[in-house]
Structure 1
Amino acid sequence: MNVSYRTNLILRLGVPLFLFISYFFISHSKLTLIIAILATIQLITFGIDIHRKGNWKKVNLQHDQRTRENALFAGNLIYWLTILVLFIGTLLIQNSIISITYPKLIGYLILISLILKWMIRDYLNNQEETED
């Protein structure tokens, strides 16, 4: 989505905010707190980079046809991986092999899926940039 850097920063603000709300009001898990802190650090560095370059009102045009295809590929891959992990996790929980609740399984899987999708997409985008 080609939006201004300021709008992109505001949209990215939702991830750490959701994680902190999840930590303080829902899970009290140390893993959630660590991920929230890392997401906040990443958001701050993104904001500092925007400020240094003076791009607050400029449009972020990094999404061309190639990067959209990479994001679509990463999304499809993570979609099928998520379905597989949910199926296996459900079987493990029902057979009492792992001691985790269904909401925690779903919550952690959502966070891990988002992180993996971003990592795969960025890896593919950086790989094509180095080949050019």
Structure 2
Amino acid sequence: MNTTYRTNFLLKMLIPIILFVSYFFISHSTTTLVAAILATLLVISSGIEIHKNNKWNKTNLKHDQRTRANAHFAGYITYWLMLITLFAGAILLMNTDLPLTFPKLIGYTILGSFAVRWLIRDYLNNREKFE
């Protein structure tokens, strides 16, 4: 759905708020805190970029064919990296005495996969700006 940059920014602000509420009132997990901080930094950088280019009332055309293809490619790469990481991590946890549990392995893998997906997608979408 193509919305204005202001609406998209307000929707992006909900993710860090939900994560901080989850951290302070529900889980007290460091993984949740790290995810909340990363999401906050992402929202702040997005807001700075929108403000710098004065796009608050303009329509955000983020779903064209190129950006969708880049998002699908990043998701595909992240999917396979996550499967390999979980498989290798499960084997390591069963055969060694690492102080890591399976839920923590899953949580760190999901957090890492989101970060890798965002990095790959943003790199592919912004590659043409720098060339």
Please classify the TM superposition score into its range, dividing by the shorter chain length: 0.7 to 0.9
Amino acid at match of 1:60: N
User: Using the alignment, how far apart are the partners of 2:28 and 2:39 within structure 1?
Assistant: 17
User: Using the alignment, how far apart are the partners of 2:110 and 2:93 within structure 1?
Assistant: 17
Q: CA deviation at 1:4?
A: 2.2
Q: CA deviation at 1:51?
A: 4.6
Amino acid at match of 1:56: W
Q: Matched residue of 2:10: which SS?
A: helix
User: Using the alignment, how far apart are the partners of 2:103 and 2:123 within structure 1?
Assistant: 30
Tell me whether 46-55 or 119-128 shows the greater mean CA deviation: 46-55
Q: Matched residue of 1:13: which SS?
A: helix
User: Using the alignment, how far apart are the partners of 2:119 and 2:45 within structure 1?
Assistant: 17
Q: 1:112 maps to which residue? A: 112
Mark the runs of 5 or more structure 2 residues left unpaired by the alignment.
Answer: none
Q: CA deviation at 1:60?
A: 0.4
**Counterparts in 2 of 1:27 and 1:48: CA distance versus 1, 3 Å:** same
Per the normalisation by structure 1, the TM-score is: 0.77
Q: Matched residue of 2:60: which SS?
A: coil
Q: 2:87 maps to which residue? A: 87
User: Using the alignment, how far apart are the partners of 2:130 and 2:48 within structure 1?
Assistant: 25
Q: 1:26 maps to which residue? A: 27
Q: 2:103 maps to which residue? A: 103
Q: CA deviation at 1:17?
A: 2.8
Alignment of 1:45-84 (within 5 A): 45-51=45-51, 53-84=53-84
RMSD across aligned positions (CA): 2.5
Runs of 4+ deviating beyond 6 Å? none
Q: 2:130 maps to which residue? A: 130
**Counterparts in 2 of 1:10 and 1:96: CA distance versus 1, 3 Å:** farther
Q: Matched residue of 1:98: which SS?
A: coil
Task: State percent identity of aligned pairs.
Answer: 52
